[in-house]
A and B are shown apart, each in its own frame.
Chain A
Amino acid sequence: MLRRVLLVAGREARADRRQADGLVAAITFMAVLVLLLSLVVGPHVARERGVAPALFWVALLFAAVITAQRSFERELADDALDGVLALPGGRDALYAGKLLAIAGSLAAVALIGGLLQLVFLDLDVALPGHLAIAAALGVAALPPIVVLDVVLTLRLRARAALVPILALPVLLPQLVAGTNAVTAAIAGDEPTAVAWSLLILAFGVIYTVLGLTIVPTAIE
């Protein structure tokens, strides 16, 4: 099973490398957001509690939605999805493989976005390890619900509009937890950073289990 999941993830990563439009759009959005924040409100305001982290997570959510949608558009283009679903174990491997691959893309966006914020907003991070863990957990916890929504709306014409509408309300607690965890890590508040990070982890586990249960039977 793990081998098959890795094969799906590898296939996705390879296709993403060759057709990087979704990833480039996400990174561009993140960069524009950071620059705008830096130029319009200035580093002083941007460094205020929660402003930079909140925008970081909003940009990452945008990245998750467009990379997941792009990924499944590619699957639908020549009915490639049918090819995977008809393979023995294909249904089960698809969701987990997609999660891995999309989390990989998000990690790239998060890394670039994080570095841009550190440089342009001149952020001083008191707990860099905690910051890295919170960001990593957030990156892993966003794709499960976004991919689940993309799968559930796969055969609907309005899926491009429906995915954010379905995903955003569910992800709101995760975005709040992510923002608070990163803010606490920047400020050096270790217990708060750990508590919010654990909450992100819980969200990630719940939605991953939910997706692994629902997707193999729901996908058509």
Chain B
Amino acid sequence: MALRAPLLPEHLAAARDGLRRGGLLAGGHHHDERGAGEEAGSHHAVVESTVASARSFAAPDAQPLAALREATVILDDRAVLRRIDLELAAGITVLRGPNGSGKTTALRALAGLVPLARGSRDVPPDVLYLGHRPQLLHGLTARENLRFFRDFRGGGGREARIAAALDRWGLHADADRPVERMSAGQRRRAALARLDTEPCTVVLLDEPFAELDVAAAELLLHALREAPPTAAILVATHGHAEIDALAARLFEVGDGKVTPARQRP
């Protein structure tokens, strides 16, 4: 199937500009300030058979920032995802489903970490994928890990931004400890600090509330609430009322399919 809506350079540039101003947390935009495009998202589109599209629920002019089209993923001889269409426009999209339903696989497919047996993946290069586990290299400190990721993407203003992010996520005192000596919750917070230090158009968060204490969960919700409206954020979760409330679009994953659950009015 041919791609219907290629990524528009000007759209990506706008998204990057918003994020480069200070990452997700320091973006300074409130979720409620979303553009007219998303306000008009109450157009409930017709969903054909089992194929669901996040864009179906958004405004007609909402360009997808990332997409899986007709995507099938086979793992261990089992089709975990079957011909799904998943298009991410700006705003928060929640992917909800029980364990083993394919949420993680959908995120990993978007991040390019699992091959598609069929279909296509249309994703900009600046994707930030934070998986189940914190993706921090043992032997390095939290600061060194953040520095590596930021340098890899070629971000500027490195040290000040990293220090601010570590401070914000409550890791100031532990920033220079090797990550393997930190608690699971601290490692998770260090991973989430990447939201502040890496400018990305598309953010994929897999169970981001796992292992977080109440304060850190609040911080994450705050980060998502304050995210620039130009960023497309996909959150996979078992079910989290607060993130559901923030979401512009909500999808259920199960039986290899992605089906729309609701659209924010």
Interface, chain A (partner B; CB < 8 A): 3-4, 7, 11, 14-19, 74-75, 77-80, 82-90, 93, 220
Residues in chain B near residue A15, CB distance under 8 A? 137-140
**How close is B65's CB to chain A, nearest CB, in angstroms?**
15
How near does chain A come to B189, taking the closest CB pair, in angstroms? 13
A11 to B140, Cβ gap below 8 A?
Answer: yes
Report the separation of the CA atoms of residues A132 and B144 in the bound assembly, to the nearest whole angstrom.
34
Given the contacts A15-B138, A19-B139, A77 and B113 also touching, CB distance less than 8 Å: no
- What is the distance, in angstroms, from A24's C-beta to the closest C-beta of chain B? 14
Once the chains bind, are B140 and A14 in contact (CB under 8 Å)?
Answer: yes
**Does B178 count as interface, using CB distance less than 8 angstroms?**
yes
Contacts of A18 in B (CB 8 A): 139-140, 178
Chain B residues near A16: list those with CB within 8 A.
139
A-B contact pairs, 19 of them (CB 8 A): A4-B152, A7-B148, A7-B151, A11-B137, A14-B140, A15-B137, A19-B138, A74-B137, A78-B133, A79-B131, A79-B133, A80-B138, A82-B111, A83-B131, A83-B135, A85-B112, A87-B153, A88-B153, A90-B152
Question: With contacts A18-B178, A83-B149, A86-B111 known, is A78 near B139, CB below 8 A?
Answer: no
Docked-complex contact A7 and B152, CB < 8 angstroms: yes
State whether B139 touches A14 (Cβ < 8 A): yes
Q: Are B179 and A87 in contact (CB under 8 A)?
A: no
Distance between Cα atoms of A15 and B135 in the complex (Å): 14
- Tell me, yes or no, whether B126 is within 8 Å of chain A by CB: yes
Q: Could you tell me which residues of chain B, from 129 to 166, have a CB within 8 Å of some CB in chain A?
A: 129, 131-140, 144, 148-149, 151-154
CA distance A96 to B125 in the complex (A): 20
Q: Write the B92-114 contact mask toward A (1 if CB under 8 angstroms, else 0).
A: 00000000000000001001111
Docked Cα-Cα span, A84 to B153, in Å, equals 11
B187 at the interface (CB under 8 A from A): yes
Specify which chain A residues have a CB less than 8 angstroms from the CB of B149 in the assembled complex. 83, 87
The 7 A-B pairs at the shortest CB distance, nearest first, are namely A15-B139, A83-B135, A88-B125, A79-B133, A80-B137, A86-B129, A19-B139
Residues B187 and A85 in contact, CB atoms below 8 Å apart: no
Does residue B84 face the partner (Cβ distance < 8 Å to A)? no
User: A90–B131 Cα gap in the complex (Å)?
Assistant: 16
Instruction: Give B residues with C-beta under 8 Å from A.
Output: 108, 111-115, 125-129, 131-140, 144, 148-149, 151-154, 178-180, 187
Q: How far apart are the CA atoms of A16 and B140 in the complex, in Å?
A: 9
Residues of chain A with a CB closer than 8 A to B152's CB: 4, 7, 84, 87, 89-90, 93
Residues of A within 8 A of B134 (CB): 78-79
Most buried by B among A4, A77, A80: A80
Tell me if B138 and A79 are in contact (CB < 8 A). no
Q: Which residue of A is nearest B128, CB measured?
A: A86
B143 to chain A, nearest CB (A): 11
B206 to chain A, nearest CB (A): 10
Report the separation of the CA atoms of residues A87 and B180 in the bound assembly, to the nearest whole angstrom: 22
Tell me, rounded to whole Å, the shortest Cβ–Cβ distance linking B69 to chain A: 20
* Contact present for A74 and B139 (CB under 8 Å): yes
Q: Which of A4, A78, A84, A93 has the most chain B CB atoms closer than 10 A to its own CB?
A: A78
Measured CB to CB, the closest approach of chain B to A96, in angstroms, equals 14
Inter-chain contact B135/A79, CB cutoff 8 Å: yes
| Inter-subunit contact B179/A78 (CB<8 Å) | yes
A17 to B139, CA, bound (A): 8
* Closest-CB distance, A159 to chain B (whole angstroms): 17
Contacts of A77 in B (CB 8 A): 138, 180
Max chain A C-beta neighbours (<10 A), residue from B126, B134, B139: B139
Within 8 Å CB of A78, what residues of B?
133-138, 179, 187
In the bound complex, residues from chain B placing their C-beta under 8 Å from that of A90 are 152
Q: Which of A11, A84, A88 contacts B126 (CB 8 A)?
A: A88
> Taking the nearest CB of chain B, how far is it from the CB of A129, in angstroms?
36
Q: Given contacts A11-B148, A88-B153, is CB(A82)–CB(B137) below 8 Å?
A: no
Q: Which B residues lie within 8 Å of A17 (CB)?
A: 139
Q: For the complex, what is the distance from the CA of A14 to the CA of B138, rounded to whole Å?
A: 10
Most chain A CB atoms below 10 A, which of B113, B127, B129: B113
Residues of the B chain whose Cβ atoms lie less than 8 Å from the Cβ of A79: 131-135
Nearest chain A CB to B68's CB is how many angstroms away? 15
Known: A7-B152, A82-B131, A86-B129. 7 other contacts (CB 8 A): A15-B140, A77-B138, A77-B180, A78-B136, A79-B131, A79-B132, A85-B113
